[in-house]
Amino acid sequence: MVAGCAQQQQQHKYKAPAAAAAAPVLPKTGGVSAYFPSGKAEGSGLLLEKMAPSEVLAGQPYQFSYKVSNLTDTALENVQVTDRVSSNFKA
């Protein structure tokens, strides 16, 4: 799990942005999923899921998590996940 904090002076609801990914699919868990490299389950080797609350209060901590699934029966090596967030994000 990774913890973060949305920064703002005023207390108002902040809608968490969706992660940028190839062919996003909204799962029931309230996160974003993406299949790589094809964007579809068929023909892809990885499923990346990012789970986060759909809304958080500015200035309040929240948690999000990542899950990477190998969709093949072969070991995958050197898998890297990078999530770029805005410059005002503080962990």
Question: In this predicted model, what pLDDT tens digit does every residue of 4-22 receive, in sequence order?
Answer: 544 444 455 555 555 444 5
pLDDT score of 71: 92
Evaluate whether residue 75 is within a structural domain.
no
Query: Which amino acid is present at 40?
Result: K
Nearest to 56 by CA among 8, 24, 1, 23: 8
pLDDT value at position 27? 42
Please compute the mean of the pLDDT values over residues 54-67 and round it to a whole number. Answer: 84
The number of distinct structural domains making up the chain is 1
Residue 78 falls inside a structural domain: no
Instruction: Assess if residue 84 is contained within a domain.
Output: no
Could you tell me the pTM of the whole model? 0.56
Q: Is residue 82 part of a domain?
A: no
Range of the domain at 24: 2-70
Among 45, 49, 28, which residue's Cα sits nearest to residue 37? 45
